[in-house]
C-alpha cells in the first residue's frame, strides 16, 4: 500500500508517486479501464436523480428528447469538471468531508430518531450524532479549502 511505502509522506495521488515501470503502467491501464466502464454505472443513478428533481418522474418514463438532454448535460458537466480540476486530493477531500460525514453521522442518527418514537438515552445519542455531523461537515469542508491536512 502507499502508506506502507511512503509513511506520512504519502502523496495525494499515490499512483503518481510511484516510479514509471512496466508493472505500474499495466496498473494505470487497469485503472483507466475501471474508470471508463464504471462511468455508466455512476451516470445512471445520477440521471435518474436529476430527472426526478427536474421533471418529477424517473428517467425511464421520460421522452427521448428530455432523457438525452439530461444525459448530455451530465456528460458535459462531468467532463468539464474533470478538465478543470488539477488536484484530485481536493476533490477526494470534499467527497470525504460531505459524503462520509453524511453517511457516517447524519443519516444513521436521523434514521434512528425516525425509527424509535419514544424518547430514551439512545435517541438522545442519535440526535447528538446528527448535531456532531452537522458541525463537522462545514468545518471539514473549510479545512479542505484552507489546505488542512497537507
Please state the pTM of the whole predicted model. 0.61
Query: Which residue carries 428533481 as its cell?
Result: 53
- What count of Cα atoms within 13 Å lies in the side-chain half-sphere of residue 4? 1
Predicted pLDDT at 59: 94
pLDDT computed for residue 150 by the predictor: 52
Give the pLDDT score at 3.
60
What tens-digit pLDDT sequence spans the chain (150 residues)?
Answer: 566 666 667 766 677 777 889 998 998 899 889 988 998 999 999 999 999 999 999 999 999 999 999 999 999 999 998 898 877 778 888 888 999 999 999 999 999 999 998 999 999 999 999 999 999 999 999 998 887 555
Place of cell 450524532: 129
Q: How much is the pLDDT for 130?
A: 97
pLDDT at site 144:
87
- Calpha distance 138→131 (Å, rounded): 12
How far apart (Å, rounded) are the C-alpha atoms in residues 76 and 63?
20
Residues 6+ apart with CB under 8 A from 22: none
Residue identified by cell 488536484 is: 87
Q: How far from the centroid of its chain's Cα atoms is residue 70's Cα?
A: 20
Amino acid at each position: 500500500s502507499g502508506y506502507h511505502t511512503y509513511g506520512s509522506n504519502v502523496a495525494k495521488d499515490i499512483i503518481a508517486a510511484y516510479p514509471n515501470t512496466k508493472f505500474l503502467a499495466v496498473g494505470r491501464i487497469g485503472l483507466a479501464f475501471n474508470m471508463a466502464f464504471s462511468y455508466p454505472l455512476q451516470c445512471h443513478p445520477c440521471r435518474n436523480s436529476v430527472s426526478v428533481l427536474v421533471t418529477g418522474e424517473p428517467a425511464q418514463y421520460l421522452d427521448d428528447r428530455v432523457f438525452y438532454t439530461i444525459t448530455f448535460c451530465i456528460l458535459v458537466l462531468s467532463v468539464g469538471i474533470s478538465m478543470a480540476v488539477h488536484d484530485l486530493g481536493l476533490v477526494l477531500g470534499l467527497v470525504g468531508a460531505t459524503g462520509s460525514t453524511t453517511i457516517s453521522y447524519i443519516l444513521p442518527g436521523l434514521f434512528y430518531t425516525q425509527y424509535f418514537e419514544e424518547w430514551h438515552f439512545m435517541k438522545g445519542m442519535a440526535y447528538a450524532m446528527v448535531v456532531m455531523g452537522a458541525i463537522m461537515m462545514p468545518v471539514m469542508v473549510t479545512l479542505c479549502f484552507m489546505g488542512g491536512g497537507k
